[in-house]
Amino acid sequence: MEAALGLLRRMPPKQSETALSALLSLLPQHSSDLLSQVDLPLQVLRDAESRKDFILCEYNRDADSYRSPWSNKYHPPLEDALYPSSELRKLEVEANDIFAIYRDQYYEGGISSVYMWEDDNEGFVACFLIKKDGSKSGHGRRGCLEEGAWDAIHVIQVGPEEEEMAQYCLTSTIMLSLTTDDEPSGKFGLSGSIRRQMKMELAVAEGHLCNMGRMIEELEGKLRNSLDQVYFGKTREMVCTLRPPAEIVQMRLPDS
């Protein structure tokens, strides 16, 4: 299992789907472990009734059907399917509406879905998903990306309420891939994925949605910044190490 995860860490991020399916076929006995620890680019389905797209993931799946957060119906239809309790469904509906606005403000497009379900320890789990195609042909406002994919997966575990406080444990994964193809830089592609966790104990006075939303906003912002500054920054540093810009070479010459 460790070796399998090691391999996934080294394969090009763009090939993660192929790498995972190869590992699944080599290690069928570990398939549920692998699928629970590895995030794949998100897929989308159309909810014809609500005339809206929704995102597919492990959390809205039952057998081979996926539940739409808009109509609460499984696609394709499924008998005896699992649904969240009506109380939780109410929160889910609310979360979907609000998260769609959040998504629009930060992403200027894209698709979002929120799924919730009760867990074993009297709390619940919520999964907030965003998928954005930022390419020229997609929702890219500035039209600078030949190809641009962003997938955000936020899974948040909410503990039972105790003395007006609740424990929140958020795990966020960002997967992205962007390519520009302009003169004079040619084909320039950056891709990758990172995952981080954040735990907090918060007062529930303002509601779970408010707490979950703030945590997601904070962690998503942090992940975006570290991708931009740390991860992309490291690859930029590497390029400059391989072939330093001329000014640096000239400065070094007198020494050598």
Partner 1 sequence: MTNVTLQAIAGDNNLILSPPSFALVKAMADEENELQETELSYDQKKEIAKWFLLNAPAGEINYVAKDLKEVLSDEEVYNEAAMEAFPVYNKSHMICLEMPSRAGDVIISSYSEITENEYLDPRTAQVAIVDHVKQICTKVRPAYDEELPSSYIEEFRSALDAEIQRYVSESYPKGVSTVNCTKGKDADGPGMDFELVVIITARKLSPQNFCNGSWRSVWNIDFQDESQVLDIKGKVQVGAHYFEEGNVELDAKKEFQDSTIFQSADDCAIAIANIIRHHETEYLGALEVAYSKLPDNTFKDLRRKLPVTRTLFPWQNTLQFSLTREVEKELGLGNSRNGAFGLKIHLKSNVQQTSIYKRQKKNECINRASLQVISNVLTSVKDVRPKGTRDSSSFRSSDKQPFL
CB 75 → partner 1: shortest distance, Å?
12
**In the structure encoding, which two tokens stand for residue 147, read together?**
């190809």
User: Phi and psi (nearest 5°) for 221?
Assistant: -65, -45
Residue the block writes with tokens 């990172």: 194
Q: Which is nearer to partner 1, 54 or 140 (CB)?
A: 140
Alpha helices (H) along the chain: 2-10, 16-26, 31-37, 86-107, 208-225, 232-242, 246-252
CB 130 → partner 1: shortest distance, Å?
8
**Edge-to-edge strand ranges of the sheet holding 61-62:** 61-62, 65-67, 74-75
CB 31 → partner 1: shortest distance, Å?
4
**In the structure encoding, which two tokens stand for residue 245, read together?**
């810009």
Residue 251 backbone class (left: φ over 0; alpha: ψ -120 to 50; beta: rest): alpha
Q: Which is nearer to partner 1, 31 or 201 (CB)?
A: 31
CB 88 → partner 1: shortest distance, Å?
9
User: Phi and psi (nearest 5°) for 54?
Assistant: -135, 160
Q: How far apart are the first and last CA of the chain?
A: 49
Sign of the dihedral through C-alpha 110, 107, 109, 98: positive
CB 73 → partner 1: shortest distance, Å?
14
Q: Which is nearer to partner 1, 190 or 200 (CB)?
A: 190
Q: Which is nearer to partner 1, 201 or 235 (CB)?
A: 235
Q: Which is nearer to partner 1, 81 or 165 (CB)?
A: 81
Q: Which is nearer to partner 1, 160 or 207 (CB)?
A: 207
CA-based nearest residue to 93, from 142, 49, 126:
126
CB 68 → partner 1: shortest distance, Å?
14
Q: Which is nearer to partner 1, 165 or 250 (CB)?
A: 250
CB 43 → partner 1: shortest distance, Å?
5
DSSP string, 210-228: HHHHHHHHHHHHHHHHIII
Question: Could you give the CA distance from residue 28 to residue 32 in angstroms, rounded to a whole number?
Answer: 9
